[in-house]
Amino acid sequence: MTNDVDQDELKETLAEVRRIAVQSTRLAKGVMAGGYASVFRGAGLEFDEVREFVEGDDPRLIDWKVTARAGRPYVKKFIDEREQSVLFLLDASDSMRAGFGALSARQMAVRLCACLSFAAVRNQDKTGLVTFGKRSMLSFAPPRKGSGHALRLVRDGLMARDVEDGASVASESGSEAALAFAMRMLRRRSVVFVVSDFLGPLPGKSLFRCALRHDVVAVRIASPDLFPPASGLVRLADPESQRSVVVDWSSERVRSAWIRRVAAWRAKVDAEFARCGVDVIDVAVPMRRDKDAVQKPILDFFRMRQLRGSKR
């Protein structure tokens, strides 16, 4: 029976991978094609060759050794080093599997990672994935090129499951472990997307240290249950503790208290992101299927970066 369930889950996952791949590839070829390349420009300049000086060249680029040997000025030519690594740190804790929307927060997160992965593939960049749970890092797919590898990231993101290690007190959270691993593994400056609902304790110190070496972007996935309906009785269950409570959204007092708490939480998280020097992509999980739900936040982020000037 267990094998049948596993096979059914695998078939469903593979079907979901194909659906995500089709949508993501289409978006990566279309509206996001130019935005990604202009925002994430690579690790820097790489020496290409020397050539004879022509009018308009920057005198600071003169290669004096070659100039001395040739008896006439030569300059160094550099090219933009396009290839870089893009690493996704994906929250696979139980809270990411919950929500009242058309998709779970996890499914929404994987779709966004897929779109960015296929955009990276089209620009010859490498993509990798780290999944983490509440207390530990779960899996790692090293950065590699190719659409086949991007498909693997989608599969791994959908199939990752949090595990309890039995420890009553953890020395660090799963997000801290993932960030620490990324800093050890990435030798050169890279792009790091931390994709989570950020409902747990924020890894502020780890985010700050990682952002000093890499271009770190926090992708905050917001489920519809953060925004209460107009009325009705709803049973809410904590997906991690399994505790449940019935909430009366018809009560103005209850609704106001909930809205205040959500606003305070968002303000606190925003302040921490700003302190760490981390940009944010806010992604709302829609109540109904919406083709723009993934691409719009990404395009808004690209436009913001282009107006401000991309980080280097």
Q: What is the pLDDT of residues 38-71, one digit of tens each?
A: 788 665 555 667 888 887 787 888 989 888 988 9
Q: Tell me: pLDDT of 111 over 50.
A: yes
Report the share of the chain in percent with pLDDT over 70: 87
Do 200 and 61 fall within a single domain?
no
Position 78 scores a pLDDT of 66
Do 115 and 242 fall within a single domain?
yes
Do 117 and 219 fall within a single domain?
yes
Position 54 scores a pLDDT of 84
Last residue in a domain, options 31, 61, 81 = 81
Do 22 and 72 fall within a single domain?
no
Do 217 and 70 fall within a single domain?
no
Do 211 and 108 fall within a single domain?
yes
> Which residue did the predictor score with more confidence, 205 or 162?
205
Do 208 and 293 fall within a single domain?
yes
Last residue in a domain, options 18, 53, 81 = 81
Do 99 and 181 fall within a single domain?
yes
- Is 225 within 8 Å of 258 (Cβ atoms)? no
Structure tokens at 42: 């690579």
* Structural domain count, the chain: 2
Confidence of residue 105 (pLDDT cuts 50, 70, 90): very high
Confidence of residue 249 (pLDDT cuts 50, 70, 90): confident
Confidence of residue 32 (pLDDT cuts 50, 70, 90): confident
Identify the domain containing residue 218 by its residue range.
2-40+84-308
Do 296 and 148 fall within a single domain?
yes
Confidence of residue 229 (pLDDT cuts 50, 70, 90): confident
> Which residue did the predictor score with more confidence, 87 or 47?
87
Mean pLDDT (the chain) is 85
pTM recorded for the entire structure: 0.80
Confidence of residue 3 (pLDDT cuts 50, 70, 90): very low
Last residue in a domain, options 30, 56, 81 = 81
Do 151 and 58 fall within a single domain?
no
Position 2 scores a pLDDT of 40
Q: Which residues of 6-43 are buried (b: 16+ CB within 10 A; e: fewer)?
A: eeeeeeeeeebbeebbebbbebbeeebeebbbebbebe
Position 169 scores a pLDDT of 42
Position 288 scores a pLDDT of 86
Most confident range (mean pLDDT) of 67-76, 209-218, 230-239 is 209-218
Do 104 and 116 fall within a single domain?
yes
Q: Tell me: pLDDT of 20 over 60.
A: yes
Position 49 scores a pLDDT of 78
Position 58 scores a pLDDT of 79
Do 224 and 289 fall within a single domain?
yes
Q: Tell me: pLDDT of 102 over 90.
A: no
Position 80 scores a pLDDT of 57
> Which residue did the predictor score with more confidence, 70 or 109?
109
Q: Tell me: pLDDT of 170 over 90.
A: no
**From CA 49, how far away is CA 12, in angstroms rounded?**
52
Q: Tell me: pLDDT of 188 over 60.
A: yes
